[in-house]
Amino acid sequence: MARRWRRRCWARVYGATVPPVSVIVPAYDEARHIERALASLAVQDLPPLEVIVADDGSRDDTADRAERAGARVLRLAHAGPARAKNAGAAVARGEVLVFVDADMTCAPGFLRALVAPIRAGATGSFTSEIHLANPEKRWARAYATLRWSPPDRLLPHDFPDRWTQFRAIRRDAFEGAGGFADVGYGEDLTLAERLGTLAVAAPGAVCHHHHPETLREVFDNGRWVGRGAAVRTLAHPWRDHALPRVLGLGVRQALGGRTPWVIPARAVYHTGVWTGLAQTARDPGRHWK
């Protein structure tokens, strides 16, 4: 009854075919970015029903900053992004769930564009229009290079219009799938297999993503990858991330016109991957940052 009443109120304001949207922002030590992310959500031309920050045991004042910015904050024990996202979804009231990273900022039409494929009948949607938010930072450019991204965005212009990542999804489908699988790095790609379908591209859903700005952050991201399940699907994960091989890749990228800072960035990143592989060999239960 309460959900039907909320939908009727929402429909009077935004139109009968626009479902109410809950935005869930998982955050771990994101004090530097969280206010900027929330400010971008506050100016959406399709305002969300609510914004829930699932604070994943941050050691800084992420949660306090999010509360001051007007978000509903869940203060959780540190257990990784999958559990944080699932916890936020469990208390969300909207009929569409949107997952936004704490180090993202969203253009004013982002939510409306993401919801459009769902209004047209899709289970969920994603955006490939993710631009690099901090290209002036050398290590951010280097990180884009080592991830084989274009210089100014995360995904190529000709990216397919179907993908395993769900940035927005119908709440009933999310609940039916049991949420994100707790696999560490790559948890955002686990819904597709559980659902048996792919997300649909949402043209015009423009956002900006901050890449690591220090070598410490580059290392931490590599270690997170090394702790996750996806890297273990490689036939030879240790060999594939060995320094002689990856430094050779970095040299070829630099000679091909990309930033030369990719060479030290690769050394640090892949050392992080090796560290994560070693740590998980000792403690398989720890696979988050």
Report residue 228's pLDDT band, with 50, 70 and 90 as the boundaries. Answer: very high
Task: Give the largest Cα separation in the chain, rounded.
Answer: 63
Q: What percent of the chain has pLDDT above 70?
A: 94
Report residue 284's pLDDT band, with 50, 70 and 90 as the boundaries. Answer: confident
**Cβ–Cβ < 8 Å for 137, 117:** no
Give me the pLDDT at residue 167, please. Answer: 98
- The predicted model gives 253-275 an average pLDDT of 97
Give me the pLDDT at residue 12, please. Answer: 47
Phi, psi for residue 3 in degrees, rounded to 5: -65, -40
- The predicted model gives 204-212 an average pLDDT of 98
What is the pTM (predicted TM-score) of this model? 0.92
Range with lowest mean pLDDT among 7-16, 27-36, 243-252: 7-16
Model confidence over 91-131: pLDDT tens digits?
999 999 999 999 999 999 999 999 999 999 999 999 999 99
d(CA 201, CA 33) in angstroms, rounded, equals 26
Q: Which two tokens stand for residue 58?
A: 């941050």
Give me the pLDDT at residue 168, please. Answer: 98
Give me the pLDDT at residue 149, please. Answer: 95
Residue 10 confidence (pLDDT) above 90: no
- DSSP character string of 175-205: HHHTS----STTGGGSHHHHHTS-EEE-TT-
Contacts with 257 (C-beta within 8 Å, 6 or more apart), sequence order: none
Model confidence over 28-57: pLDDT tens digits?
999 999 999 999 999 999 999 999 999 999
d(CA 111, CA 108) in angstroms, rounded, equals 8
- DSSP character string of 233-276: GSSSHHHHT-HHHHHHHHHHHHHTTS-TTHHHHHHHHHHHHHHH
Give me the pLDDT at residue 217, please. Answer: 97
d(CA 147, CA 156) in angstroms, rounded, equals 12
Residue 252 confidence (pLDDT) above 80: yes
Extents of the domains making up the chain: 2-209, 215-282
**Average confidence score pLDDT of the chain:** 93
CATH number of this structure's domain 2-209: 3.90.550.10
Tracing tokens 């043209």 back to the chain, one arrives at 203
Report residue 289's pLDDT band, with 50, 70 and 90 as the boundaries. Answer: confident
Report residue 76's pLDDT band, with 50, 70 and 90 as the boundaries. Answer: very high
163-193 in b/e form (b: 16+ CB < 10 A) is bbbbbbbbbebbeebebbbbbbbbbbbbbbe
Residue 88 confidence (pLDDT) above 70: yes
Distances (CA, A) of 75 to 31, 37, 42, 222, 242: 14, 18, 21, 26, 38
Q: Which two tokens stand for residue 268?
A: 């640090």
**Cβ–Cβ < 8 Å for 198, 192:** yes
Residue 13 confidence (pLDDT) above 90: no
Give me the pLDDT at residue 17, please. Answer: 63
d(CA 143, CA 149) in angstroms, rounded, equals 9
Give me the pLDDT at residue 6, please. Answer: 44
d(CA 118, CA 100) in angstroms, rounded, equals 17
Contacts with 155 (C-beta within 8 Å, 6 or more apart), sequence order: 128, 130, 149
- DSSP character string of 207-223: EEEPPP-SHHHHHHHHH
Distances (CA, A) of 31 to 25, 67, 79: 13, 12, 18
Report residue 250's pLDDT band, with 50, 70 and 90 as the boundaries. Answer: very high
Closest CA to 278 of 246, 230, 238, 247: 238
Give me the pLDDT at residue 9, please. Answer: 43
Report residue 18's pLDDT band, with 50, 70 and 90 as the boundaries. Answer: confident
Model confidence over 148-177: pLDDT tens digits?
999 999 999 999 999 999 999 999 999 999
Q: Which two tokens stand for residue 73?
A: 């904050």
Closest CA to 27 of 55, 50, 47: 55
Give me the pLDDT at residue 95, please. Answer: 97
Contacts with 71 (C-beta within 8 Å, 6 or more apart), sequence order: 25, 38, 51, 52, 53
